């Protein structure tokens, strides 16, 4: 993690949740980029592949909703993945008026391999916590994301 500085100011920052989360996320993003570099995709693109690979072909709009990104961002992500030969747009078999996006065979293969690399990287990243604390940490983050009571 980035240095927190020396003296009282650095000590204060080291106890601020926002500061810690920001710097841990930046460290994780760097590790993720290194792990995914051999596959030619970044974390956002891998997330798109994962969403597209979890079920039947879906529309770009549906994919954007699942990922929590706007339509313009989703179009740009799918455009790049299509240029890489990882996804294809086609007419929906259920509704011929609608286009859907699906993984190609190459996309399915890359998703499998890149997800394995991502999982390994995450295990290594969380290893200093130990397995039990790492599981608790991830469960706690999920709980914070799911808590809509505020």
- Interval 20-41: pLDDT, tens: 999 999 999 999 999 999 999 9
Q: How confident is the model at residue 125 (pLDDT cuts 50, 70, 90)?
A: very high
Residue 5: inside a domain, yes or no? no
Residue 103 domain boundaries? 11-146
Q: Are 74 and 63 in contact (CB under 8 A)?
A: yes
Residue 3: inside a domain, yes or no? no
Number of domains making up the chain = 1
Residue 4: inside a domain, yes or no? no
CATH of the domain at 24: 1.10.10.10
Instruction: Tell me the average pLDDT of the chain.
Output: 90
Residue 71: inside a domain, yes or no? yes
Per-residue pLDDT at 102: 93
Per-residue pLDDT at 5: 53
Residue 103: strand pairing partners: 87
């Amino acid at each position: 993690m980035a240095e927190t500085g020396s003296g009282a100011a650095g000590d204060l920052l080291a106890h601020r949740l926002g500061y810690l989360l920001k710097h841990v996320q930046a460290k994780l993003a760097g590790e993720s980029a290194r792990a995914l570099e051999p596959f030619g995709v970044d974390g956002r693109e891998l997330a798109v592949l994962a969403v597209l690979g979890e079920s039947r072909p879906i529309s770009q709009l549906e994919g954007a909703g699942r990922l929590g990104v706007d339509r313009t961002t989703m179009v740009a992500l799918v455009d790049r993945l299509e240029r890489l030969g990882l996804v294809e747009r086609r007419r929906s078999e259920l509704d011929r008026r609608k286009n859907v996006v699906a993984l190609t065979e190459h996309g399915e293969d890359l998703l499998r391999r890149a997800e394995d690399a991502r999982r390994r990287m995450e295990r290594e990243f969380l290893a200093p916590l130990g397995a039990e604390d790492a599981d608790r940490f991830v469960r706690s983050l999920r709980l914070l994301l799911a808590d809509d009571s505020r």
